[in-house]
Chain A
């Protein structure tokens, strides 16, 4: 296949990329970009089908530790599918079938002996629509810890997670109230708090701000920026500006499930290698 060349070339890029602070016109995160990167997640020739339609086509890429990696691309190009492969959420869809390798810390998550439940405990996830449980704020945050039987210092951990998610100040006196009573933006931060309470290594976010108003969105963006100090964040977004603002690396998928380009965010946005990516970024289609 022709396009493979592009994809493969991306995968064989250096792991050590020096960031150029001067070039970061679009990226606001220049200061926090680390100099060396170690790979947390690596996909090798990953293919995903839903029944007979292929949603991911031979994708290879490496996601670095403690950085924000954004995935962009037109609707239906397989961004969510890729994300959901990482923590094997696709297992829940009967029709989904995965081929190729997907390594988490060097271990293929689709190996026989991997328990997806255990995997997911190390990879948190935040969804497009805020989806707090119809339980109290406290119980929402404590949920992950409880299912993992890590209930020591529960109060402390809940508090820490809420603080980390920049929600503590707003909800500290209403921890017993239902999570559903918060505003949309607060709910989404609650979901983030819930995801980080159990100390995952990676946080996957599927368009976490697309259902929110601009003010709430900017809070979430700030938060993601913060989180990348401690966590590896992989985020899917429709919003190109957002990807440019918050991510260190960007992966561009195009229709058919191909990864067309992957690299440092500022490079992708300022100087994309492929014309198709340039067309997409400049809004010629999508």
Chain B
């Protein structure tokens, strides 16, 4: 698609003088809105080095990306906040699209309450489930003895989002099994606002967002059987913070890896996954450790070799 037009010296956004390493071509990414900030940040950085490369990033949702783009051979990468589903695998192979999964960061879903809420500091997974399952408890006192007899106000992610999917599976253990009695929203700001407005509110969203709002809401520890663990970069990286830390991926298409500039971009993407400044500070996810990153890089290089 698209004619490559290297001789395009017009615009300031164009190639201008420095041609970097002379890489030239198009790269397209689509998929998860959760991964979108990472992808576009990485793309922005790569673009800075290789002005001849043209990258587009679309936020379509993981599933939309697989169904409409990636498995039809229309994109080079699909970002995903979950692993590829069976149906999507089938779809891909029907179209002859071979893929490789890259772990680009970890997201720690954070359960939050009001800063002033002092009766609760942590919840067990079981208690969390009783709050969010399809037929949930109504008051805090039903969650744990000693909690006040007040109605729970719930704020969570919209049901069409990957965050919702992941939270439901991790906490309730079944796809889509989530209460309907909650304020669903696309805008994490609203969850913060809602929770900071009531002592008896509870909500969840990505760790990234919590980091920017530590003064307004408080994160709960999660007890998965080994005692309560507070969410942090370290606990998430180490896997202690379970089950609410989830890996974020990008899926690379094999055919695309034959192109030098795309393969180079894939390597760059992986290398950036351990970039603490970019992933953690600037975006707010949990970066890979150097070790994890090198492992990913080896696998990727193998995959590129195959292609």
Direct contact of A and B (CB under 8 A): no
Interface residues of A (CB under 8 A from B): none
Interface residues of B (CB under 8 A from A): none
